[in-house]
Amino acid sequence: MASYSTNEFRSGMKVMLDGDPCSILENEFVKPGKGQAFNRVKLRNLKNGRVWERTFKSGESLDAADVMDLDMEYLYEDGEFWHFMKTDGSYEQIAAAAAAVADCKDWLKEQDVYQVTLWNDDPIAVSPPNFVELEVTDTDPGLKGDTANGGTKPATLSTGATVKGVPLFINIGDVLKVDTRTGEYVSRAKS
């Protein structure tokens, strides 16, 4: 397996740290006047999303992680696994466990395309696009002119996720555009 030295570290590079695949976010070179050189590195653990900060002696190296991000179409869920299919025409499918799908399950809609991160060909993370469109399955009927709650209400989507800040005119069956980074309502989708 290839390895990278601290002076090759670039943001986006995938490396192994403490047995987990990580993506380098930042690499800062630090050197006291006549002392030893260090690299202070911020990495995101790709398995749990946590950000780690580690200091390495300059010249130390880490093994490269065999990590790939693939665009895949979401097919279905079987109660244990979430199934995705490659979009390269191969129809090849993979099954992702709950740990990999994590919070993304709130935004999964069949036939939409998601980014699946594979480590040694196993799915370890699924990321939604920044915006998804999902149908409202439950929400209070909003009365026109009711501004007691700032003119908004919560709504439950087809995935089971709840979105706040939904305008009162939204009804069950409407399709909403939601920002997956904030979990907030953006607009009513034109359908």
Partner 1 sequence: MLTWRPSASLAALRERSRCLGQIRAFFAARDVVEVQTPMLGARTVTDAEVESIAVHPYGFLQTSPEYYMKRLLAAGAASIYQLGPAFRHEESGRLHNSEFTLLEWYRLGFDDRQLMQEVAELVDDVLGRGSYTSLTYSELLGGVDALKLERDEIDLKFVAAIERLGQGRFFITDYPADQAALARLRPGHEDVAARFELVIDGVEIANGYWELQSAAEHRRRFQADRDRRAQLDRSDVLVDECFIQALEHGLPDCAGVALGVDRLLMLALGETSLDAVLAFRLDRI
Write out the residues near partner 1 by the rule CB under 8 A.
Answer: 7, 28-38, 55, 57-58
Residue whose CB is less far from partner 1, 29 or 169 = 29
Residue whose CB is less far from partner 1, 7 or 87 = 7
Query: How many angstroms separate the CA atoms of 187 and 177, rounded?
Result: 5
- Least Å distance, CB 34 to partner 1, is 5
Residue whose CB is less far from partner 1, 28 or 110 = 28
- Least Å distance, CB 13 to partner 1, is 16
Residue whose CB is less far from partner 1, 56 or 84 = 56
Q: What three-state secondary structure class fits 43?
A: strand
DSSP secondary structure letters along 74-106: EEEE-SS-EEEEESSSS--EEEE-HHHHGGGGG
- Least Å distance, CB 7 to partner 1, is 6
- Least Å distance, CB 27 to partner 1, is 8
Residue whose CB is less far from partner 1, 43 or 65 = 43
User: For residue 172, how many C-alpha atoms fall within 13 Å in the half-sphere facing its CB?
Assistant: 5
Residues 6+ apart with CB under 8 A from 99: 47, 124
Query: How many angstroms separate the CA atoms of 115 and 126, rounded?
Result: 6
Residue whose CB is less far from partner 1, 7 or 11 = 7
Residues 6+ apart with CB under 8 A from 148: none
Among residues 87, 86, 166, 102, the alpha carbon closest in space to that of 134 is found at 166
Q: Amino acid identity, residue 146?
A: D
- Least Å distance, CB 40 to partner 1, is 8
Report the DSSP pairing between strands 38-45 and 20-30: antiparallel
- Least Å distance, CB 29 to partner 1, is 3
